[in-house]
Amino acid sequence: MNWNEYRKNFPDRYWKESFFDKLLLDFLSRENIKEVLDFGGGKYGTEILNNPVFSVYFQDPFVTKPDWQKSPEPNQKFDAIVARGCINYLTLEEISSLKNRLKPNGYLIFNSFEKEPQAYEKTFIDGKGEICLEKAYCKDGVVHHIIEKHEERISHTFFYYTPDQYHKALGSFKLERYGKNSIVIIVQNT
């Protein structure tokens, strides 16, 4: 899976500005957050954070760093960690350990699924204008996602976690629903 090619290969509904981004900006502004780790932000970064009020740090091992982001110091702690569209690639242990990278009272904010994703097949037009078929199904807590193109098949997997599993890994949190099956979870480091 080449994450540098994500926007060329995947449907734009995954990365274009959404309810999550608006909620994120409102929340970070209200809480006067300054230093943010953009965890798994991808090649372009979480673009709603590209604003002079924030110092945004990069952590995504699979893409090149966007110019507008900074490299974090080892052991640096943050006012907030944002994980947009990427928490489901981590194990529950890795998710739990993200809290150690927050300053006291700092926040971890991410989006995910509320219920187990149902199997589906849909066509979409990719970033090169090609008609593609997207398929997904979930088995034993692992979502299998496949994109079929003219001459290429891109498949990858990610985890599905219940809100209860997030609760066990992270302690109490605020949960907000959006779309058909999406949630935003906000955890405060206490």
Ligand X SMILES: C[S@@+](CC[C@H](N)C(=O)[O-])C[C@H]1O[C@@H](n2cnc3c(N)ncnc32)[C@H](O)[C@@H]1O
Binding mask 32-51 for ligand X (x = CB under 6 A): -------xxxx---x-----
User: How many residues bind to ligand X according to rule CB under 6 A?
Assistant: 18
In the complex, the smallest distance separating the C-beta of residue 18 from ligand X, rounded to whole angstroms, is 9
By beta-carbon proximity to ligand X, the closer residue of 6 and 57 is 6
Residue (21 or 130) nearer to ligand X, CB? 21
Q: State in angstroms the smallest separation of the CB of 108 from ligand X.
A: 14
Greatest distance between any 2 Cα atoms in the chain: 50
90-111 exposure pattern, b = at least 16 Cβ within 10 A, e = fewer:
beeeebeebbebbeeebbbbbb
State which of positions 73-112 bind ligand X (CB under 6 A): 84-86, 89-90
Q: Please report how close the Cβ of residue 79 comes to ligand X at its closest, in angstroms.
A: 19
* Residue 52 or 61 with smaller CB distance to ligand X: 61
Q: What would the two tokens of residue 65 be?
A: 């760093």
CA distance 97 to 95: 5
With binding defined as CB under 6 A, does residue 6 bind ligand X?
yes
Per-position x/- string for 48-67, each x denoting binding to ligand X as judged by CB under 6 A, each - no binding: -----------xxxxx----
Q: Which residues of the shown chain bind ligand X in the complex (CB under 6 A)?
A: 3, 6, 15, 39-42, 46, 59-63, 84-86, 89-90
